[in-house]
Amino acid sequence: MEMPIEMQHQAMGYDRAATMFSPDGHLLQVEYAQKVVNLGSATIGAICKEGVVVVADKRIRDKLISPESAGKIFEVDEHIMAAAAGISSDARILIDKAQLLAQQNRVSYGSPIEPIGVIRMIADNKQMFTQYGGARPFGVAVMLAGVDRGKSYLYTTDVTGNYYSYRANAIGEDDEQIKERLRKDYKEGMSIDEGIRFILSMFKEILGKNFELGRFEVGYIKNQDAKLQRLEGEQELKKYAK
């Protein structure tokens, strides 16, 4: 009986380093890192006519954990936010670097940094850890949303260090199922409120009986004022789930 290809690669040691290509052109450690991302709680982002909105599932499984300490949406600068799926501690390192870059830009140039400058830096750091030995890849996908000169932007970078701009996207658990719904029903002309309702309806469809408003965190940035606003908890999100 012939051994499956994946087991052959493991037996030959092609998955022992992130810098070692398998004979069929795969970086197996990087692919394993992507599987970690797919186990992470989901985040959905969308461009709306008024700005950009991100809704994250905090998925707190331990009732002893304070919900305020388990946030999934991070402020990079007042006009940029980020969310992640995968290993939270990996995300924290990248977000810290992003926050530092944003503040350095304000000090050096006296102006807010462009969102693409932040996502490129995050992607470059991820790519570096797939090319040099002695360290594992970052096991996290990062979604970054922001406003620059009155226009909204939404980016996502994967574990390989690739990044793309999106009108709407999802990362984490069930991301392919969510993307299919986005391709079918997403409308760029939605208001922020409509976008939040639309995203929560998708989570309700995916989670079924496990859907609870208290597990979600919402961040949005309007084109007009370019300042991050947050919503979380059942009371603040109740009107969007009707």
Q: Which of 238, 194, 236, 228 is CA-nearest to residue 78?
A: 228
Query: What is the distance between the alpha carbons of residues 207 and 173, in angstroms, rounded to a whole number?
Result: 11
pLDDT digits (tens, 9 = 90+) for 63-116: 787 777 778 999 999 999 999 999 999 999 999 999 999 999 999 999 999 999
DSSP state letter for 50? S
Predicted confidence (pLDDT) per residue in 160-208, tens digit = 999 999 999 999 999 999 999 999 999 989 999 999 999 999 999 999 9
Q: Closest Cα partner for 141 from 19, 32, 38, 228?
A: 38
Cβ burial of 29 (10 Å; 0-12, 13-18, 19+) is buried
Q: What is the pTM of this model?
A: 0.90
- The secondary element (H helix, E strand) that includes residue 150 is none
The DSSP string of 52-91 is EEEEEE-----TTS-GGGS--EEEEETTEEEEEEE-HHHH
| CATH fold label, 29-216+227-240 | Glutamine Phosphoribosylpyrophosphate, subunit 1, domain 1 (3.60.20)
Q: How far apart are CA 154 and CA 17, in angstroms?
A: 32
Query: Which residue, among 153, 150, 141, has the nearest Cα to 46 in the 3D structure?
Result: 153
